[in-house]
């Protein structure tokens, strides 16, 4: 294979797929995270392989990158990060249960279960989404191909319209960063409004001179 030819063609495919992303679904995804913050809910993220890395990455971005100087923060937890617990559930039951069993202990109604899967068909991701829906959580995620079995299990699902796993994973990261930036902006606006309102209330309470 001629690498010099293959690289430009890959970049062309990546660029073309970017222009096909469902932007309205991305806006809905931003609203999922903003609503979680407004309602003081927890976001649980999970996936396998590269998607597991992205779940950790997103939990870091949302947990630290959105933190205001003062006040309440967005709670985001990656179910991919506790390796002893993952291997314990995989060994004692089966690998399909590694995320669902964690959610069994942690998930509350109104929380967000956020799935990441290139194919949309990973058994452990599907099991976690099934449990989350049964427990009254909001389900969301990002996937590729045509959405796989995961798509109908999600209240909000962003599908990268590609059957190239590397293109899908590239754009999953881009989606994660764009959503993070939008969520941070919305949180900053909310916190700024609260600060202004508190300052106005304090000023109104001062005695007249």
Q: Are 165 and 118 in contact (CB under 8 A)?
A: yes
Tell whether the model's pLDDT for residue 204 goes beyond 90. no
Tens digit of each residue's pLDDT (9 = 90 or more) over 79-112:
999 999 999 999 999 999 999 999 999 999 999 9
Nearest to 175 by CA among 41, 51, 66: 51
DSSP 76-128: EEETTS-HHHHHHHHHHT-GGGTTHHHHHHH--TT-EEEEE-SSS--HHHHHH
Domains of the chain: 23-194 (3.40.50.10490)
Q: How confident is the model at residue 207 (pLDDT cuts 50, 70, 90)?
A: low
pLDDT score of 72 more than 70: yes
- Say which residue the tokens 């099934």 belong to: 130
Residue 202 has pLDDT above 50, yes or no: no
CA 79 to the chain's CA centroid: 12
The separation between CA 48 and the C-alpha centre of its own chain, rounded to angstroms, equals: 14
pLDDT at site 132:
98
Contacts of 90 (CB under 8 A, 6+ apart): 97, 98
Share of the chain above pLDDT 90, in %: 83
CA dihedral 181, 182, 183, 186 (to 10 degrees): 120
Does residue 37 have a pLDDT over 80?
yes
pLDDT in tens, 118-175: 999 999 999 999 999 999 999 999 999 999 999 999 999 999 999 999 999 999 999 9
């Amino acid at each position: 294979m001629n690498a010099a030819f293959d690289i430009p063609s890959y970049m062309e495919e990546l660029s073309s797929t970017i222009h096909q992303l469902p932007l309205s679904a991305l806006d809905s995804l931003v609203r999922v995270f903003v609503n979680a913050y407004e309602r003081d809910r927890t976001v649980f993220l999970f996936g396998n392989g590269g998607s597991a890395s992205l779940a950790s990455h997103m939990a870091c971005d949302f947990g630290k990158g959105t933190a205001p100087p003062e006040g309440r923060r967005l709670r985001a937890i990656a179910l991919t990060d506790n390796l002893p617990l993952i291997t314990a559930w995989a060994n004692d039951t089966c690998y399909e249960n590694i995320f669902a069993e964690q959610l069994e202990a942690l998930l509350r109604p109104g929380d967000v279960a956020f799935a990441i899967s290139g194919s949309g068909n990973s058994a452990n991701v599907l099991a976690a989404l099934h449990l989350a829906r049964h427990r009254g959580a909001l389900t969301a995620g990002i996937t590729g191909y045509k959405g796989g079995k995961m798509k109908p299990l999600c209240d909000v699902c962003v599908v990268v319209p590609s059957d190239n796993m590397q293109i899908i994973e590239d754009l999953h990261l881009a989606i994660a960063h764009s959503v993070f930036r939008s969520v941070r902006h919305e949180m900053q606006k909310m916190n700024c409004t609260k600060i202004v309102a508190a300052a106005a209330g304090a000023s109104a309470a001062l005695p007249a001179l």
